[in-house]
């Protein structure tokens, strides 16, 4: 699905809040309330840019909270969310910490530690509005332990990388899916992921508690990952070759990736699968057979590629390509 949305047009006034609550809270342990439930307003559209999802949500001020006795385990949710208020202020309780994020700020969290959230505007009546990005956890370059130190914080979005990312996300959210050809969306998603990685790295490295030894390891990890990105098409891209290219031992290389909660081989495979998925969705490459795309990204055995692709994305390469190209470029 490329675009998903919610509009109140055609929904009876008395049902609007319940419909919105069902959309936001269904399948979760969250509940919500609003002083405007009797005359509720909401508008939401979401667009997929490769593996990332960008949304613009506008809704009447409201309060959300999580059931203190949850029935669902959020600990294994596989995505982070980046929120940028465009109108109003977000007040959250995250991991027992209070945080406020205003217009232009960036608030990053995962749902597992979000306890409650108020979406407010100065007059209490004007709809709150924000842009959001949903980011699969395995795609981030920073180790999980480093990302944890960034989560639940409000990061300024008015300068440097923060300003670049805020402007980019806001533009994507305002434009919607209709402004981009299907083949462009995965490419735009890769650019967006690069900016998110840059912001996270900057936020971590400017943390006053960031140790110098950790800085060296982090810099080396990013250098290795950049090398991998440049050589993804080479089938002999192995941990041993990577270690030799960076003059470190294989065991030290493995420790660098273990700090991220992954392995060298898993990280390489994830990046290759994402590039292959992008190419399968590209109408310019529709005449290249699936085994050809697999081979160009380092998968020499088509059956192995198909199994890995299905495990990663829940569908076969053939079915994914068919669905992605069905509507054709527009």
Give the C-alpha separation, 21 to 93, whole Å.
20
Q: Kindly indicate the confidence band of residue 326, based on its pLDDT and cuts at 50, 70 and 90.
A: confident
pLDDT category of residue 2 using cuts at 50, 70 and 90: very low
pLDDT of 214 strictly over 60: no
Q: Position of tokens 């995962």?
A: 110
- Angle between helix 184-205 and helix 264-280 axes, rounded to 10 deg: 150
Q: Which residue has the higher pLDDT, 102 or 73?
A: 102
Assessment of whether the complete model's pTM goes beyond 0.85: no
Where residue 208 falls among pLDDT bands split at 50, 70, 90? low
CA atoms of 213 and 228, how far apart (whole Å): 23
**Class of the CATH domain delimited by 3-205:** mainly beta
pLDDT range class, residue 3, cuts 50, 70, 90: low
Indicate the pLDDT class of residue 139, thresholds 50, 70 and 90.
confident
Q: Which has more confidence, 329 or 267?
A: 267
- Given pLDDT bands bounded at 50, 70 and 90, which one contains residue 42? very high
Query: Between 72 and 107, whose confidence is greater?
Result: 107
| All structural domains of the chain with their residue ranges | 3-205, 212-325
What's the mean pLDDT in 162-173?
94
pLDDT at residue number 69: 67
Work out the percent of the chain whose per-residue pLDDT is above 90: 43
CATH number of 212-325: 1.10.10.60
């Amino acid at each position: 699905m490329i675009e998903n949305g919610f509009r109140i047009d055609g929904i009876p006034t008395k049902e609007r809040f319940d419909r919105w609550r069902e959309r936001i809270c269904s399948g979760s342990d969250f509940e919500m309330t609003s002083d405007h439930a009797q005359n509720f307003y909401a508008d939401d559209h979401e667009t997929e840019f490769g593996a990332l999802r960008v949304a613009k949500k506008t809704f009447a001020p409201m309060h959300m909270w999580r059931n203190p006795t949850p029935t669902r385990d959020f600990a294994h949710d596989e995505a982070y969310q980046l929120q940028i208020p465009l109108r109003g202020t977000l007040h959250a309780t995250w991991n027992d910490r209070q945080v406020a994020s205003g217009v232009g700020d960036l608030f990053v969290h995962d749902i597992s530690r979000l306890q409650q959230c108020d979406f407010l505007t100065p007059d209490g009546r004007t709809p709150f509005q924000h842009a959001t990005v949903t980011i699969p956890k395995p795609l981030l370059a920073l180790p999980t332990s480093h990302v944890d130190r960034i989560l639940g914080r409000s990061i300024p979005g008015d300068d440097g990388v923060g300003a670049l990312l805020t402007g980019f996300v806001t533009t994507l959210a305002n434009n919607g899916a209709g402004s981009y050809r299907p083949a462009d969306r995965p490419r735009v998603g890769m650019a967006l992921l690069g900016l998110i990685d840059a912001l996270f790295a900057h936020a971590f490295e400017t943390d006053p508690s960031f140790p110098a030894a950790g800085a060296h390891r982090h810099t080396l990890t990013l250098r290795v990952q950049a090398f991998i990105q440049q050589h993804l098409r080479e089938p002999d891209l192995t941990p041993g070759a990577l270690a030799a290219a960076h003059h470190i031992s294989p065991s030290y290389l493995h420790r660098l990736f273990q700090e991220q909660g992954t392995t060298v081989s898993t990280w390489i495979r994830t990046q290759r699968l994402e590039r292959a998925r992008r190419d399968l969705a590209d109408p310019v490459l529709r005449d290249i057979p699936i085994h050809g795309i697999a081979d160009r990204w380092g998968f020499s055995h088509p059956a192995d590629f198909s199994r890995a692709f299905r495990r990663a994305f829940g569908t076969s390469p053939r079915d994914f390509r068919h669905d992605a190209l069905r509507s054709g470029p527009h």
